Each structure stands twice: as structure tokens, then as C-alpha cells.
């Protein structure tokens, strides 16, 4: 299989369910994903099949982009509308609030308490497992970076925002804290991931259309890393090396190496990914190699 696909994850399904369903559909031996989405959330879910799962640690998904609709006046245990309602405030018109000023206060370093319904581990156990049992958990504060917040629209009790944030930011917590800032309860009523790193919602495939037999559009590897095509002779030389070994690839294959990560391809088959090291003058030093399918 050795493919990458962007799926628009449907509402109500877990990320692992979608990945396992697609793994079975495509007949892949293994599958993985980067960046779990809550069941409530929709949008960009990147799925890697077979040998492509090995490039996940090399993918830059440091910046995420979301569209979130925040409902004021309601507090739930999960911080979204899928949870149990804890408190409801009196009906209030929030449309006169200067939300541009409000959200500006959250741009930059963002220190927050993560939701108790989260995958963060406490003594080896996921926090949401304690929360489902009704047990209180004390999660340490986290620091994220909010790159930008744009207001799409706001009404009497809801506001829709587009948020760009660093990896690992819980948008549900941001929604809670925005509500608290204006003196209200709040919860997420809709959340869509528009992008993660180079992966955009416009390049995604409809999950149900795939299962109905529509030909999917796979994400090309050369949009993630430079590809170097090597001949059979050089492929044979490289395949004699050990996994994770530091080697002088420039000398080995007689090609100049200029990028931090490079994928070596032989006869259109990806063989390995290299992590390349350079000195302060950007002069090549050596490469660490990681094979996709070679067994060592």
C-alpha cells in the first residue's frame, strides 16, 4: 500500500475507528495517524499505510488550524456539547461584547488547564478514564502558542472563530477560557480541523465516499520531502548499511545532499528516509538512515 491519505473525519466517529476501517478497506497490513480528533470534531485526519507509517515522526505538524463554534451560557463536563450539562446561566445577549479585544488577549503564549476528558496520562492511565468514573483529576497546566484568532461571526449567544495554534492545544479549553473571560460558561458546539502542517481540508477525501467505492486522492510523498531517485547500483550500496547508521551519503551515492530530510527512491519505490546533518556553514556532514521495509 505505502500511501498517505487525508480524510475529512465525520462527526461522531473516533479517529482510531476511521483509521481501522480504512486499513481494512484498502487491505493494508498496518495503518497509523497523526493528531487525534475528538469524536465531536470533523476535518483533517492524516492516515498513513504500511511503510509510510515510519515517516510520521518526521512530519512537521507543529501548526494546527481549526474552526470552532462556541456556545455561551452552558457548561458541560467534556467542554463540548457531547457531554453532560453541569450548569446553565441566564439567557444573555453577548453580541455587544468587543470580541476582537477578547480574543486578542489569548494570542501568544497560552497557559491553560487541559480538559479532564482528554488523552493525557496520569500514572499511566488516560485522564478521560478517570473522568468517566466521576473521579476528579488534577492536570498540570500546559503551555501552548496561539498564533492567530479570527472572528468568522458572532451572535447573541454563539461565536465562530478560526484558530491557529501550536500542536497539542486543546481547543475545548480555549473555548472554556474565552467564556470565563467574559464572565460566562461556554462549551464547544462544533469543531473542524482545517489544517495540520501541510495537510489542508481542501485536499481531503470524504470518508463515506471512499467506502462507497469512489477513487481516493492520495497525498504525494514529494509534497512532504525532497525525493532523490537512485539507480540499482546505489540502491544496493545503501541496502548494505544498517538501520539508523550514520553514513556519508554524498560519498556513497555521489549526489549532493542539501535538505534536512530526504527520501531515497529506487524504481519509484521509497527505500529510506535520511536525517541529514550540516555544520554552522550549512556544509554537509553525514546522514542517519531509516529504512522503510528493510529488516535488520
Phi and psi torsions of 292, nearest 5°:
-80, -40
- Measured between alpha carbons, how far is 268 from 21 in angstroms, rounded to an integer? 27
Residue tagged active-site, from 8, 38, 51, 80: 38
CB 271 within 8 A of CB 239: yes
| Residues near 27 by beta carbon (within 8 Å), at least 6 away in sequence | 1
First to last CA, the chain: 21
Residues in a beta bridge with 94: none
Residues in a beta bridge with 44: 8
CB 105 within 8 A of CB 112: no
C-alpha distances out from residue 211 to 18, 47, 86, 142, Å = 11, 15, 38, 38
- Measured between alpha carbons, how far is 152 from 99 in angstroms, rounded to an integer? 11
| Residues near 207 by beta carbon (within 8 Å), at least 6 away in sequence | 7, 8, 9, 10, 13, 18, 22
38 is catalytic: yes
Residues in a beta bridge with 290: 273
Positions annotated as catalytic residues are: 38
Amino acid at each position: 500500500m505505502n500511501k498517505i491519505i487525508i480524510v475529512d473525519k465525520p462527526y461522531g466517529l473516533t479517529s482510531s475507528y476511521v483509521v481501522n476501517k480504512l486499513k481494512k478497506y484498502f487491505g493494508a497490513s498496518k495503518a497509523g495517524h497523526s493528531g487525534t480528533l475528538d469524536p465531536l470534531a470533523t476535518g483533517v485526519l492524516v492516515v498513513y499505510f504500511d511503510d509510510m507509517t515510519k515517516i510520521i515522526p518526521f512530519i512537521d505538524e507543529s501548526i494546527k488550524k481549526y474552526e470552532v463554534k462556541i456556545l455561551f451560557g452552558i457548561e458541560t463536563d467534556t467542554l463540548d456539547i457531547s457531554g453532560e450539562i453541569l450548569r446553565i446561566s441566564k439567557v444573555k445577549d453577548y453580541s455587544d461584547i468587543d470580541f476582537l479585544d477578547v480574543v486578542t488577549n489569548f494570542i501568544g503564549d497560552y497557559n491553560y488547564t487541559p480538559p479532564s476528558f482528554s488523552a493525557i496520562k496520569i500514572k499511566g492511565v488516560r485522564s478521560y478514564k478517570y473522568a468517566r468514573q466521576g473521579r476528579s483529576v488534577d492536570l498540570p497546566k500546559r503551555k501552548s502558542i496561539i498564533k492567530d484568532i479570527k472572528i468568522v461571526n458572532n451572535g447573541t449567544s454563539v461565536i465562530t472563530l478560526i484558530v491557529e495554534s501550536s500542536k497539542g492545544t486543546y481547543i475545548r479549553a480555549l473555548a472554556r477560557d474565552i467564556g470565563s473571560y467574559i464572565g460566562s460558561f461556554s462549551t464547544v458546539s462544533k469543531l473542524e480541523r482545517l489544517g495540520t502542517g501541510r495537510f489542508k481540508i481542501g485536499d481531503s477525501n470524504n470518508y463515506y465516499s471512499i467506502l462507497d467505492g469512489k477513487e481516493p486522492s492520495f497525498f504525494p510523498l514529494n509534497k512532504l520531502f525532497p525525493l532523490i531517485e537512485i539507480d540499482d547500483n546505489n540502491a544496493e550500496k545503501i541496502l548494505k548499511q544498517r538501520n539508523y547508521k550514520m553514513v556519508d551519503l554524498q560519498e556513497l551515492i555521489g549526489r549532493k545532499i542539501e535538505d534536512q530530510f530526504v527520501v531515497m527512491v529506487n524504481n519509484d519505490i521509497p527505500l529510506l528516509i535520511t536525517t541529514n546533518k550540516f555544520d554552522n556553514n550549512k556544509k554537509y556532514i553525514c546522514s542517519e538512515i531509516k529504512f522503510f521495509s528493510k529488516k535488520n
